[in-house]
Amino acid sequence: MAPLQQLVIIGGAEDRAGDCQILREFVRRAGGRSAQIVVLTAATSEPEEAGKTYISVFKRLGAAEVQIVDTRDRQDAEKLEGLLAIAQASGIFFTGGDQTRIVRAIKDTILDDAIRKRFHAGIVVGGTSAGAAIMPNQMIVDGNSVSSPHADLVRMGEGMGFLPNVVIDQHFAQRGRLGRLLSALLLEPSVLGFGIDENTAMVVEGDEFVVMGEGAVTVVDDSATTHNNLEKLGTVEKVLTDEPLAVLGVKLHILPQRYRFNLRTREATPPII
Amino acid sequence: MAPLQQLVIIGGAEDRAGDCQILREFVRRAGGRSAQIVVLTAATSEPEEAGKTYISVFKRLGAAEVQIVDTRDRQDAEKLEGLLAIAQASGIFFTGGDQTRIVRAIKDTILDDAIRKRFHAGIVVGGTSAGAAIMPNQMIVDGNSVSSPHADLVRMGEGMGFLPNVVIDQHFAQRGRLGRLLSALLLEPSVLGFGIDENTAMVVEGDEFVVMGEGAVTVVDDSATTHNNLEKLGTVEKVLTDEPLAVLGVKLHILPQRYRFNLRTREATPPII
């Protein structure tokens, strides 16, 4: 049987100083005391600082080894050192920053191939903030928060594709991003959107995820949406950009810690006890 | 046949300088060129300034007469002048400010009786921001924005009850208040919540409302919610306050201008053309 794929997708601002519930879970899934973690700092313009922080916290949480792989450009992503690190990694972690920097430097390089190979072998891949945004095949590049849905609210771009056919937004409740997530969902064929709060994670294993942390994961199920203000141009539907989008019959779940969600059946489940 | 009751419920920050689409509709419903509008400034600590603004804009929009009734306390709400103004009014408007000030000064006074009598006679009643919050029988008094739902996020209090059995929140998308509205809904028996954006209004006529303005009205239909993390204490359900609330299967509609919603059937309808 193929190993289950594992993701720890964090909505940003995870606890790195206290109990570190989420990062602790990441380390546990990476093998605990034998964990060999690679931290990818491509997203941030301050890779040294971010690197130091994660080396310190992952070591404190018991990881055997933590190595930084920083890629400023695609040439960096061809370097042997990074490839070797990934080949030996038992956990791979993307820091926050700007999601486009990750895609620009790593997507479709041999480093990407190496990461993907380890991921399909069952090695846990984690990411926070920008590192969470990159998980789907289509990601939110940027867009305004605190607005009702609007077709020109968000800009989408190619993501890293670890969790296909969904849309992810981070810092969700903290930045009031319901409108932004709904806009993104309307702009692409996915029917599931996940809004992850700060210091909160979706811990994915195969077809299911469980919520962990302080806040909640808001699940937007767009499959029963019956109407929005699209303009029919012959057989092509064009989204009207000059007014707010209508969204009728979206189903919403707000899941705090220990709640589960099945990505295939789209069903949420409360904790057993 | 009893006249249909009319409300113009505005999410705050409505246009008062330009085309004034929403306030224009209020004046139209109050009788247009024969409109006799009473502006109630109880909510604001700057009644003179608010009064001047609304006199100016309602006059500009063609109202025949605009009168300010300012009530600082319940004694003010017994004054003959205010009662006479209400008796002759063809439109009654509550300004923004602090919603508790309205309830404290007016609720259950003879001014309240007078307003209610006119309202039931079919006279349009409007309100913006705090003046919108007071419309239900249970209102959101205060509570944090930009958070996932949490039982201790909001404080509820008695409203004026023009639109019973619903919960209303204002400045909705602009302040990221989905969590706050859901929290309020979970704390009381209503199954319908309305989040009104700035410069946007629910224009209620009988059992139906139509959306007007720049943003959207977010309708939260709680009737199919199947579970949240309530703790059963014997036969009493107690909401857990130490963690985010779980919300499963809430139905959401986001309605831009010209979309309609039926309060009785809970069905949303797109514009006819």
Report whether pLDDT(A129) > 60: yes
Mutate to test the interface with B, among A150, A210, A248, A260 (most CBs of B within 10 A): A248
Q: What confidence score (pLDDT) does residue A190 get?
A: 82
Judged by CB atoms closer than 8 Å, whether chains meet at A268 and B248 is answered as yes
Q: How many angstroms separate the CA atoms of B118 and B66, rounded?
A: 16
Q: How many angstroms separate the CA atoms of B94 and B84, rounded?
A: 17
Judged by CB atoms closer than 8 Å, whether chains meet at A148 and B257 is answered as no
Report whether pLDDT(A240) > 70: no
Q: What confidence score (pLDDT) does residue B235 get?
A: 55
Q: How many angstroms separate the CA atoms of B54 and B208, rounded?
A: 27
pLDDT, tens only, A39-87: 999 999 999 999 999 999 999 999 999 999 999 999 999 999 999 999 9
Q: Which two tokens stand for residue A143?
A: 């867009």
CB pairs under 8 A between A and B: 128
Report whether pLDDT(A31) > 60: yes
Judged by CB atoms closer than 8 Å, whether chains meet at B259 and A251 is answered as no
Give the distance from residue A86's alpha carbon to the nearest chain B alpha carbon, in angstroms.
36
Give the distance from residue A273's alpha carbon to the nearest chain B alpha carbon, in angstroms.
11
Chain B interface, Cβ < 8 Å to A: 145-149, 172-179, 182, 197, 214-216, 218, 227, 229, 243-257, 259, 268, 270
Report whether pLDDT(B104) > 80: yes
**Known catalytic residue: B198?**
yes
Give the distance from residue A90's alpha carbon to the nearest chain B alpha carbon, in angstroms.
32
DSSP string, B112-136: HHHHHHHHHTT-EEEEETHHHHTSS
**pLDDT average, residue stretch B74-78:** 96
**Backbone Cα Rg of chain B:** 18
Any residues with CB less than 8 A from the CB of B178 and at least 6 apart, and which? A173, A176, A178, B172, B195, B218, B220
Of the pLDDT bands very low, low, confident and very high (cuts 50, 70, 90), residue B225 is confident
Lowest mean pLDDT among A117-121, A162-166, B231-235: B231-235
Contact B252, A246 (CB under 8 A): no
**pLDDT average, residue stretch A193-218:** 97
Phi and psi of B48, rounded to 5°? -65, -45
**pLDDT average, residue stretch A211-222:** 96
pLDDT, tens only, B246-267: 999 999 999 999 999 999 999 9
Judged by CB atoms closer than 8 Å, whether chains meet at B174 and A145 is answered as no
Q: What confidence score (pLDDT) does residue B44 get?
A: 97
3-class SS of residue A72: coil
3-class SS of residue B147: coil
Considering CB atoms only, which of B179, B257, B268 is closest to A248?
A: B268
3-class SS of residue A223: coil
Q: Up-side HSE of residue A101: CA atoms within 13 Å toward CB?
A: 20
Q: Which of A14, A90, A129, A190 is catalytic?
A: A129
What whole-number percentage of chain B has pLDDT above 90? 82
Judged by CB atoms closer than 8 Å, whether chains meet at B229 and A270 is answered as yes
Report whether pLDDT(B233) > 70: no
Q: Which of B14, B90, B190, B198 is catalytic?
A: B198
Going from the N-terminus, what domains does chain A have, and what CATH number goes with each? 6-262 (3.40.50.880)
Neighbours of A165 (CB within 10 A): 14
Of the pLDDT bands very low, low, confident and very high (cuts 50, 70, 90), residue B22 is very high
Strand pairing report for B267-269 and B236-239: unpaired
Contact A22, A14 (CB under 8 A): yes
DSSP string, B86-100: HHH-SEEEE-SS-HH
Angle (CA) B30-B36-B38 rounded to 5° is 95
Judged by CB atoms closer than 8 Å, whether chains meet at B249 and A249 is answered as no
Mutate to test the interface with A, among B228, B243, B248 (most CBs of A within 10 A): B248
Report whether pLDDT(A267) > 70: yes
**Known catalytic residue: B120?**
no
**Known catalytic residue: A171?**
yes
The helix (run of H) or strand (run of E) holding residue B166 is strand B166-169
Give chain A positions within 8 Å (CB) of B146. 173-176
Give the distance from residue A144's alpha carbon to the nearest chain B alpha carbon, in angstroms.
11
Contact A150, A241 (CB under 8 A): yes
Q: Which of A25, A90, A150, A171 is catalytic?
A: A171
